[in-house]
Amino acid sequence: MGIAMNHFEFTLRELEINGQWIIKENVPRINSLDYIVSWQEDTENRLKRRYAKGEITTEEYKKMKKDIEEESPNVRE
């Protein structure tokens, strides 16, 4: 699993999609599969993607970006 995760993460880095591996609690078991870990894209990347797709307006984008920056002042442009 580690090699696949590395390939996945390196591909996302190449595409400039920032995020992190997270371990979710109380994930239901599906058949005989065991949950290991999930990738979660950074909030700012998700916001940029929604704006690029036209899902939100410029005003909504600016407001949400400001909210994100106020919650976590270390967010980079």
Alpha helices, DSSP H, located in 1-77:
2-14, 43-53, 58-71
Closest residue by Cα to residue 44 from 52, 34, 33, 36: 52
The pTM of this model reads: 0.55
Domain ranges in the chain are 1-41, 42-77
- Quote the mean pLDDT of the chain: 86
CA dihedral 10, 54, 42, 61 (to 10 degrees): 140
**CA of residue 9 relative to chain centroid, distance:** 12
Q: pLDDT category, 75, cuts 50, 70, 90?
A: very low
